[in-house]
Amino acid sequence: MKEFRADLHIHSCLSPCAGLDMSPRNIVSEAKRKGLQMIGICDHNSAENVPAVEKNAAREGITVIGGMEVTTREEVHILALFGTHESLFSLQEIVYENLHGTNDEKLYGEQVVVDEEENVLGFSDKLLIGATEITIEQLVALIHERDGLAIAAHVDREGFGIVGQLGFIPEGLLLDALELADPSKRDSIRQAKPLPFISSSDAHKLEDVGRRSTKFWMETADTVEIRRCLSGMEGRRMRI
């Protein structure tokens, strides 16, 4: 088994609330500096900067897991991580169909779509900070239909965390893992059925990349192997 240090929840300059210096190139060089082997790019309700991060990361030998941080109808943040562009962008299409409103850059910030050379391709005018009309159960099903991982984001935070919004983790919700902003809070999360924990930075600023991470011991750096790690399959394991 190989060891991979992963920060699976990083925003890029596409998220209105993230720094404009969160460009694909900067994210990758910061990840390299912090000793990460895997990074997840999860902008709010969009994945448009994933390809540019991937191209930069490939040169540095860092694996990118393409994802999104989707806001459900209940205003719960769920990380959706995928192994293929096809899966990722087909979910993005559904998210866009269920996301209403137009961004106001003055109020919420700019939503910059860039290429791997940091050329600005455009500005998303969608209200990425908003909530979709997709229920949490529907979202988890849509992610699983596409072989993705559904991870409840920052469950230890009140705002937009599943426990804060819904009081407790709904019975029968087929999440793959729970993400902690602070790994020391793991015992404070009450669960009917224990789910594995990951920890990640939720970085909106460059210096926060890799501030939290999860170590995976697995064969290859991909979502299939992460899923195996989460269930401790065949000697694979993980630690936060």
Partner 1 sequence: MKTLQDIADALKLAVSTGGDLLSCRTVTGGYAGDMLSDVLAHARKGQVWVTLQTHTNIVAVASGKELCGIIVVNGRTPEAATLQKAEQEHIPILVSPLSSYDVVARLCELGVTNREGV
**Which residues here bind partner 1, judged by CB under 8 A?**
73-75, 135-137, 158, 163-168, 170
Q: Which is nearer to partner 1, 74 or 222 (CB)?
A: 74
Q: What minimum distance in Å lies between the beta carbon of 176 and partner 1?
A: 19
Q: What minimum distance in Å lies between the beta carbon of 54 and partner 1?
A: 35
Neighbour order of strands in the sheet with 197-199: 197-199, 177-180, 149-152, 77-82, 63-71, 38-44, 2-10, 214-218, 237-239
Cα angle 212, 209, 190; round to 5: 30
Q: What minimum distance in Å lies between the beta carbon of 74 and partner 1?
A: 5
Q: Which is nearer to partner 1, 123 or 168 (CB)?
A: 168
Q: What minimum distance in Å lies between the beta carbon of 141 and partner 1?
A: 13
Q: Which is nearer to partner 1, 135 or 220 (CB)?
A: 135
Task: Decide if 68 contacts 95 (C-beta within 8 A).
Answer: yes
Q: Which is nearer to partner 1, 133 or 207 (CB)?
A: 133
**What is the C-alpha to C-alpha distance for residues 44 and 145, in angstroms, rounded to an integer?**
21
**What is the C-alpha to C-alpha distance for residues 200 and 215, in angstroms, rounded to an integer?**
10
